[in-house]
């Protein structure tokens, strides 16, 4: 068996294992990288280890540490509960508010998984007490969280942008975010109307909901100085990434030093630590280490595929099923199907984004950002399924009166159907338009 084929087989096994087991595929990917690279490819151990994405690791650790601190000291939780008051008793606005609240929290750096973990208990409790469909609320929360997932300061956005930088696509952080936001927003809005969310405007709140705001905020006083400091640092982080991460604005302001999200996030995290504004041990334990290790491990195996010709072969296989016109839809469908059973940020993005240059070459043309956006959107639209962390969190927090088996089945159908919907959305948004 040739090395390109062997590396593809190892990669395929890693993806399959990630779909059918709870094993962290990152460790398996590292083992396969050493087996293929050293035992069969004649590489030195140090050459294989050089594939470790040090820059990506530092960025993910910096960003997730900072927002874990913001979660531990109660800043994000207080922000969540306070936002519920915006509905002012209007049932139709509540799912919409949770969509934008999820999108906002994910966008400022919490990411889609942490945001859903934070919002699901509150959102599903509100749905149960106000007589709102748990299915509808789950769609709004998960689509909102995914809409903000590709922010330049969110973990998934960091992963996507680092992978794009590896293939020479830079300075596209905000287009990457907005493309995903628009697609997720479109599907979330369609789901809201399809599931009758607009009918809630004419429905009176249940009697048990009259004191909902009071009960939610009963133990919530004003923001303390720890939380005010955290909010200020979040604002500074977003401003620095938006302004100092833009080459034109840097030139206009006369800034000469390089600046990125890792630098801003770790400085903010250290400030919080030194001033004692969050429990450092709890924050470190609350970081998504499994995802960080998964992404880094898969990236090491991807580096072996690139060095041994497996990535070229993988790209060629994808090109056989695509044309320059249909490639966005095909990539949206393929990444969606895999993402239903596997990790979007940990497996799908590191696996498919590096294929873009060779894929375009084999097809004889194509828009790199359109294909990248299709991969990002296709992988995330299906993440409402109960097999994903987001869907599972909402089911786990559903009200006691909710039939969880029925909710599971509805979310499973929705998640699987999103692979087809994702293909159509990607083909229309990033192909035709």
Is 208's pLDDT higher than 50?
Answer: no
Q: Model confidence over 217-248: pLDDT tens digits?
A: 555 678 899 999 999 999 988 888 776 666 66
282 Cβ neighbours under 8 A, 6+ residues apart: 72
Nearest to 29 by CA among 295, 288, 290, 287: 295
Mean pLDDT of the chain: 88
Residue 212 has a pLDDT of 59
Q: Which of 47-61, 106-120, 202-216, 388-402 has the lowest mean pLDDT?
A: 202-216
Confidence of residue 203 (pLDDT cuts 50, 70, 90): confident
Rounded Cα–Cα distance for residues 176 and 152 (Å): 9
Q: Is the pLDDT of residue 433 over 90?
A: no
3-state secondary structure 252-263: HHCCCCCCCHHH
Task: Say how far apart CA 108 and CA 79 lie, in whole Å.
Answer: 12
pLDDT per position as a tens digit, 343-354? 898 889 999 999
The first and second tokens of residue 194, run together, are 């399809």
pLDDT band at 326, cuts 50/70/90?
very high
Res 266 pLDDT > 80 = yes
Model confidence, pTM: 0.86
Binned at pLDDT 50, 70 and 90, residue 355 comes out as very high
- Confidence grade of residue 107 (pLDDT, cut at 50, 70, 90): very high
Check: CB of residue 348 under 8 Å from CB of residue 157.
no
- Determine the pLDDT at residue 19: 81
The structural domains of the chain, with segments of one domain joined by +, span: 3-432
pLDDT-based confidence at 406, cuts 50/70/90? very high
- Segment 71-86 shows an average pLDDT of 82
What gap in Å lies between CA 250 and CA 256, rounded to an integer?
7
Helices 111-130, 75-83: crossing angle, 10 deg rounding:
40
Look up tokens 């680092």; give the residue: 162
Query: Higher-confidence residue: 158 or 22?
Result: 158
Least confident of 55-69, 106-120, 134-148, 248-262: 248-262
**Distance between CA 301 and CA 299 in Å, rounded?**
5
Predicted pLDDT of residue 246: 61
Does the pLDDT value for residue 337 go beyond 70?
yes
Report the alpha-carbon distance of residue 264 to residue 246 in Å, rounded: 14
CA atoms of 299 and 170, how far apart (whole Å): 18
For the cut 80, the answer to whether the pLDDT of residue 92 exceeds it is: yes
pLDDT at 204: 65
- pLDDT at residue 177 tops 80: yes
For 290-316, what is the mean pLDDT?
91
As a whole number, mean pLDDT of residues 24-51 equals 93
Query: How do residues 2-27 score in pLDDT, each as one tens digit?
Result: 888 999 999 899 888 888 888 888 99
Region for 151 from its dihedrals, namely left if φ exceeds 0, alpha if ψ lies in -120 to 50, beta otherwise: beta
Q: Which of 40-54, 203-217, 279-293 has the lowest mean pLDDT?
A: 203-217
């Amino acid at each position: 068996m040739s090395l390109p084929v062997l590396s593809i087989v190892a990669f395929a096994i890693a993806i399959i294992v990630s779909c059918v087991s709870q094993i962290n595929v990152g460790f398996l990917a590292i083992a396969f990288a050493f087996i293929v690279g050293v035992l069969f490819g004649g590489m030195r151990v140090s050459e294989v280890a050089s594939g470790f994405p040090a820059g990506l690791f530092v960025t993910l650790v910096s960003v997730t540490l900072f927002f874990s601190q913001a979660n531990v000291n109660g800043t994000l939780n207080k922000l969540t509960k306070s936002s519920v008051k915006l509905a002012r008793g209007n049932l139709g606005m509540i799912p919409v508010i949770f969509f934008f609240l999820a999108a906002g929290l994910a966008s400022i750096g919490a990411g889609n998984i942490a945001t859903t973990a934070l919002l699901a208990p509150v959102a599903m409790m509100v749905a149960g007490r106000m007589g709102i469909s748990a299915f509808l609320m789950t769609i709004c929360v998960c689509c909102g969280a995914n809409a903000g997932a590709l922010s330049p300061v969110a973990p998934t956005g960091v992963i996507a942008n680092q992978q794009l930088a590896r293939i020479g696509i830079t300075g596209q952080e905000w287009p990457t975010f907005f493309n995903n936001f628009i697609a997720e927003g479109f599907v979330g809005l369609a789901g809201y109307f399809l599931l009758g969310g607009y009918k809630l405007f004419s429905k009176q709140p249940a009697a048990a909901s009259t004191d909902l705001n009071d009960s939610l905020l009963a133990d919530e006083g004003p923001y303390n100085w720890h939380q005010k400091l955290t909010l200020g640092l979040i604002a500074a982080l977003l401003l620095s990434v938006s302004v100092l991460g833009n080459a034109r604005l840097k030139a206009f302001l006369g800034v000469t030093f390089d600046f990125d999200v890792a630098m801003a996030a770790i400085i903010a995290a250290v400030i919080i630590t030194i001033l004692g504004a969050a429990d450092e041990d709890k924050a470190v334990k609350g970081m998504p280490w499994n995802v960080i290790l998964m992404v880094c491990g898969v990236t090491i195996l991807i580096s072996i595929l690139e060095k041994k010709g497996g990535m070229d072969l993988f790209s060629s296989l994808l090109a056989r099923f695509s044309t320059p016109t249909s490639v966005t839809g095909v990539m949206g469908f393929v990444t969606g199907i895999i993402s239903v059973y596997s990790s979007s940020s940990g497996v799908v993005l590191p696996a498919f984004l590096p294929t873009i240059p060779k894929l375009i070459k084999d097809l004889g043309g194509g828009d790199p950002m359109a294909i990248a956006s299709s991969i990002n959107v296709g992988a995330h639209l299906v993440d409402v399924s109960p097999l994903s962390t987001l869907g599972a969190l909402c089911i786990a927090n559903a009200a006691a009166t909710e039939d969880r088996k029925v909710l599971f089945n509805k979310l499973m159908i929705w998640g699987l159907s999103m692979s087809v919907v994702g293909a159509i959305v990607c083909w229309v948004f990033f192909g035709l338009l």
